[in-house]
Amino acid sequence: MTTISLRNRQFSVSPGTVAWFGLVGLLLLIGLVSAVIVFKNGLVVTNLTNAVPWGLWITIDLSSIALGAGAFTLSAVVYIFGIDRFRSVIRLAVLVGVIGYTSALLTLVMDIGRPDRFWHPWVYWNVHSVLWEITWCITLYLTIMLVEFAPVIVESRLFKRFPWLRKFGHALHRVAPVLAVAGLLISLLHQSSLGATYGIIKARPIWFKPSMPIMFIVSAIAVGPAVTMAAAFIMEWISGKRTIAHDLLRTIARFSGLGLLVYAYIKFWDLMAVTYYGSTPGSERAFATLNTFTAYGFWFWVGEVFLGIIIPVLMFLVPRFNRRPINLVFGALCAAAGILINRWDVTVSGLVVPVSYSPGTEYVLPPQAYSPALVEWGIALGVIGYIFLLFTLAMRFLPLFETGEEAHAAG
Amino acid sequence: MSRRKTRAKVKLTRRDFAKIAATAAGSSLAAYLVTTGPLSPFGDLKRQQLTTEGDSHAATGPHHWGMVIDLNKCIGCEYCQRACSAVNDVAPDKPWNIVVEDSTSNGQKFFFSRPCLHCQNAPCVEVCPVKATYVRDDGLVIMDYDRCIGCRYCEVACPYDARKFNWEPRSEENAFVPTWGVPEVERRPRGVVEKCTFCVQRIDSGLKKGLIPGEAREATPACVNICPVGARVFGDLKNPDSAISRVLERQPTIRLRDELGTDSSVYYIPVSEEA
């Protein structure tokens, strides 16, 4: 086996492979063209306005970071709580995390008005700003994940010729527990401050609540590992090789199901507190506006609650469903869709309702609906292409399903 | 499959511990050196930031510039909006200073106008990730257009809708020039957020010449100068003898959304309801 050269393996293409890379290439091309259009003409080509300055791209940022949360959750399970049998999924979880976080950063660079100044948060600090803290945490945590992932990359066949690099990579692996602790702290910080980004805005009554950061982090902890679980199954179906023990993946699914129940519980009391027990003129008017101008109620109940919570909970927790991998993957995809819809609802709904700066009078700013422009969807497709590309390359070239124990022992 | 939970084995000798500690300390030092320390290409910028801005988050200096808007006097002529747009070269669709028709809860019509309220506890300043906007020690909330990254968080956070983003580069002719004034500041580039400055260029240069903003026209915001009915009074809230302090002493005033604790510098004389 070891004598098979790289070239023979790499270029054994089937029609399916060609079609797949064609699709990935097309998605990347669409993304690239959209990016050029945006950089050339500015954000005026989007459908964002001064009334709704954040939209689809922020939704992608928030969602891909939340869906990458499997990395810190499962790392914490293995390195901090010492539950060693999950070690075999760590590498995949970190890969999902790296892909999620880099997607977020790519989209974020598109979204800011001055991409040439993307480095400003590292030089000009505003320690009072949650967005500053998020920028720092995301970049720090991405670095941590890359260090965690470095041993996997250097173990790949591509680096066979550089033993010193491998040695270095394995040396990095020894600090994994330390990184896991740092990663846990940083993740707990920024996964919740993404919610705080909205929760602290006292100008907008449907955002301003302390449950915002909690709902964000609980949903991320619940759904992140499920996405990793789904990725494992899908990779197994594609490669035809059993990679991670199914009962382990089922345990992850059960964990996610329980996490979603906790999320549902907090969401229930949040809903009660905001609408039934604690409705204020501000929030009442906001919800009335939302339901006239958007299908908020539909997306909340069908998208967030039914699709995002009820279906995955049934798939993950009911024994007759969770025995079949296809159900688990289906549940994970539903949960991920639920996260996307939730982040969209939070972002856009809060903005569609205008601020009322002179209460007691009848003048209100006109509410403004928002639906993404073609070029915004183009960037979204480009990000999907990027995600597909990275997964494909990782599957082909990286030893994702070894624990690194052997190498660790040798090095 | 039924392996029991086992602790991850971490063999940590004293030597290892020293190594880890040294690595951690070394990396933090290196990170400090290359980001903001002496080795950083940005070190000068950082030091400049620290020396020019200080850490005041309110009017701690000798002045605090404020404005009173008398809603009984305003006739809705929009002169303030036009003069502002000319002097600050503002895009017609994103006015810094707005005038709208409004009515009280019992139906009485009046005109409502709004510049930036220059909050001392400004939500926009708190959320900016790069300190591109800050409260000066004379109470003005100012934008640094060279630092803004265009994330628009301040626009989202402002309770008064006072901030506007430059979605596109501007090349249009300003229709208000020269009838309503001539531009005193340059146009803001594409991709940054902009806002009313209380005509900071006039205040700063006026003070240098020994003029008193609010009294000398040259040192007073354009919207205040142009108002044909004197609905706006501008001046130093810290000076008890200034025109604005005397108005505030005589008249009952309100501030917009005071319950948010923004501590704004713009006071409104509410419409006196007719019986």
The closest CB to that of B151, out of A112, A175, A247, belongs to A112
Residues B144, B228 within the same domain? yes
Q: What is the DSSP letter of A35?
A: H
Q: What's at B86, amino acid-wise? A: A
Tokens coding B200: 């900071």
Residues B149 and B212 reside in one and the same domain: yes
Interface test with A, best of B5, B50, B125, B130 (most A CBs within 10 A): B130
Reported ipTM: 0.90
Contact criterion met (CB < 8 Å) for A203 and B23: no
Residue B104 has what DSSP assignment? B
What is the rounded CA–CA span in Å between residue A67 and residue A230?
Answer: 11
Domain presence at residue B252: yes
| Structure confidence at residue A3 (pLDDT) | 47
Calculate what percentage of chain A has a pLDDT beyond 90: 67
* Residue range A316-320: mean pLDDT, rounded: 95
Peptide bond into A367 cis (omega under 30): no
Q: Do A53 and B159 touch (CB under 8 A)?
A: no
* pLDDT value for A375: 96
Convert the pLDDT of each residue in B180-194 to its tens digit: 999 999 999 999 999
CB A339 within 8 A of CB A18: no
Could you tell me if B77 and B116 lie in one domain?
Answer: yes
* Segment among A53-62, A391-400, B79-88, B188-197 with least mean pLDDT: A391-400
Q: Which helix (H) or strand (E) holds B127?
A: helix B123-127
Rounded Cα gap, residues A173 and A146, in angstroms: 11
Long-range contacts for A317-321 (Cβ within 8 Å, ≥24 apart)?
A317/A254, A317/A257, A317/A258, A317/A261
Is the omega angle on the peptide bond into residue B178 within 30 degrees of 0, that is, cis? yes
Q: Three-class SS string for B29-89?
A: HHHHHHHCCCCCCCHHHHHHHHHHHCCCCCCCCCCCEEEEEECCCCCCCCHHHHHHHHHCC
Inside any domain, residue B70: yes
Identify the residue with better confidence: A389 or A153: A389
pLDDT of residue B235 exceeding 70, the answer is yes
Phi-psi region of A243 (alpha: psi -120 to 50; beta: other; left: phi over 0): alpha
- For residues B70 and B92, give the distance between their C-alpha atoms in angstroms, rounded to a whole number: 25
Whether B245 shows a pLDDT value over 90: the answer reads yes
Indicate if B98 and B205 belong to the same structural domain: yes
| Mutate which: B111, B156, B260, B269, vs A, most A CBs within 10 A | B156
In angstroms, the separation between the Cα of residue B129 and the nearest Cα of chain A is 4
B24 with B80, same domain: the answer is no
Question: Do B27 and B133 belong to one domain?
Answer: no
Q: What is the Cα–Cα distance from A39 to A31, expressed in whole angstroms?
A: 12
**Residues B42 and B145 both lie in one domain:** no
Same domain, B44 and B82: no
- Does residue B248 fall inside a structural domain? yes
Task: State which amino acid sits at residue B269.
Answer: I
Q: Is B67 part of a structural domain of the chain?
A: yes
Which residue's entry shows tokens 């626009």? B155
Same domain, B107 and B178: yes
Domain co-membership, B30 together with B71: no
d(CA B48, CA A149): 38
pLDDT tens digits, A223-267: 999 999 999 999 999 988 888 999 999 999 999 999 999 999 999
For tokens 């002496």, name the residue.
Answer: B38
- The Cα A307–Cα A305 span in angstroms is 6
Size of interface A-B (CB pairs under 8 A): 171
pLDDT at B27 over 90: no
At residue B69, φ and ψ (nearest 5 deg) are -115, 120
Q: Do B214 and B100 belong to one domain?
A: yes
Query: Would the pLDDT of B5 be above 80?
Result: no
Q: Is B105 part of the contact surface with chain A (CB cutoff 8 Å)?
A: yes
The answer to whether position B275 is within a domain reads no
Burial of A312 (0-12, 13-18, 19+ CB in 10 A): buried
First-to-last C-alpha distance (Å) of chain A: 23
> Does residue B133 fall inside a structural domain?
yes
* Per-residue confidence band for A406, with pLDDT thresholds at 50, 70 and 90: very low
Indicate the residue type of A8. N
- Chain B nearest CA to A241, separation (Å): 19
B105 contacts A359? CB cut-off 8 A: no
Instruction: Show residues of chain A in contact with B114, CB under 8 Å.
Output: 357-358
Give me the pLDDT at residue A188, please: 92
- B82 vs A: CB within 8 A: no
Segments forming the whole domain that contains residue B93? 62-269
Nearest-by-Cβ selection for A42 from B105, B157, B190:
B190
Calculate how close chain A gets to B252, using CA atoms only, in Å.
17
Distance between B150 CA and the closest CA of chain A, angstroms: 4
Quick check: A28 pLDDT over 70? Answer: yes
Nearest in space to A69 (alpha carbons), one of A263, A218, A231: A218
Quote the minimal CA–CA distance from B61 to chain A in Å: 21
What are the backbone angles phi and psi of residue B109, rounded to the nearest 5°? Answer: -80, 145
Residue in B7, B104, B260 nearest the CB of A361: B104
- The answer to whether position B109 is within a domain reads yes
Give the single-character DSSP code of A324. S
pTM recorded for the entire structure: 0.87
The count of domains in chain B is 2
**Closest residue in chain B to residue A81, using alpha carbons only:** B7
> What is each CA distance from B163 to A51, A245, A349, A408, B229, in whole angstroms?
10, 54, 20, 55, 27
Does the CB of B96 have a partner CB in chain A at under 8 Å?
no
Residue B112 contacts A where some CB pair is shorter than 8 Å: yes
Average pLDDT over residues A189-210: 93
Give the residues across from B236 on adjacent strands: B65
State the residue for tokens 């922020």.
A58
| Cβ of residue B167 closer than 8 Å to a chain A Cβ | yes
pLDDT at A56 over 80: yes
Give the model confidence (pLDDT) of B87-122 as tens digits. Answer: 999 999 899 999 998 888 788 889 999 999 999 999
- Dump the DSSP string for A80-112: IS--GGGHHHHHHHHHHHHHHHHHHHHHHHHHS
* B7 located within any domain: no
Question: Looking at the DSSP assignment, which residues form a beta bridge with residue B141?
Answer: B135
Q: Does domain A27-354+368-410 have CATH number 1.20.1630.10?
A: yes
Query: Parallel, antiparallel, or unpaired for β B266-269 and B109-114?
Result: unpaired
B66 in the same domain as B33 = no
* The two structure tokens encoding residue A145: 């994940």
Q: How many other β-carbons are positioned within 10 Å of the β-carbon of residue A40?
A: 8
The sign one gets for the Cα dihedral A242, A243, A245, A251 is negative
Q: How confident is the model at residue A404 (pLDDT cuts 50, 70, 90)?
A: low
Mutation site for A-interface testing, chosen from B5, B167, B168, B172 by largest number of A Cβ within 10 Å: B167
